[in-house]
């Protein structure tokens, strides 16, 4: 069996999509069911913002740290590499 050409594959995908595509009504039913499912406790927006801010600050500081400082910290921290980008 030989592999289909790009043109044949496109035609097969179009044919499959035509048979498999959801109707707008079915898609809306699925969307509404997903939206109606409320997850457990929500994350506090202020807490999340503070966390992301702290992590971003740490990443930027580590990424812009002079090489000598990175090398010194690398000997004491498993998460800091002496290179800007680990090889």
User: What CA–CA distance (Å, rounded) separates 39 from 67?
Assistant: 44
Q: What is the pTM of this model?
A: 0.35
Using CA atoms, how far residue 4 sits from 8, 15, 80, in Å, is: 6, 14, 48
Q: Could you tell me the residue ranges of all domains in the chain?
A: 6-36, 40-87
For 1-40, how does the pLDDT look when each residue is reduced to its tens digit (9 = 90+)?
A: 788 888 998 898 889 888 888 889 999 999 898 888 767 6
Greater pLDDT, 8 or 60: 8
87: confidence class by pLDDT, cuts 50, 70, 90: very low
């Amino acid at each position: 069996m030989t592999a289909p050409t790009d043109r044949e594959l496109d035609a097969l995908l179009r044919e499959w999509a035509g048979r498999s595509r959801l109707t707008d009504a079915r898609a809306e039913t699925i969307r509404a069911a997903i939206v109606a499912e409320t997850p457990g406790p929500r994350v506090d927006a202020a807490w999340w913002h503070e966390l992301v801010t702290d992590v971003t600050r740490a990443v930027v500081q580590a990424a812009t740290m002079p090489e000598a400082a990175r090398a010194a910290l690398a000997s004491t921290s498993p998460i800091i590499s002496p290179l800007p980008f680990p090889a």
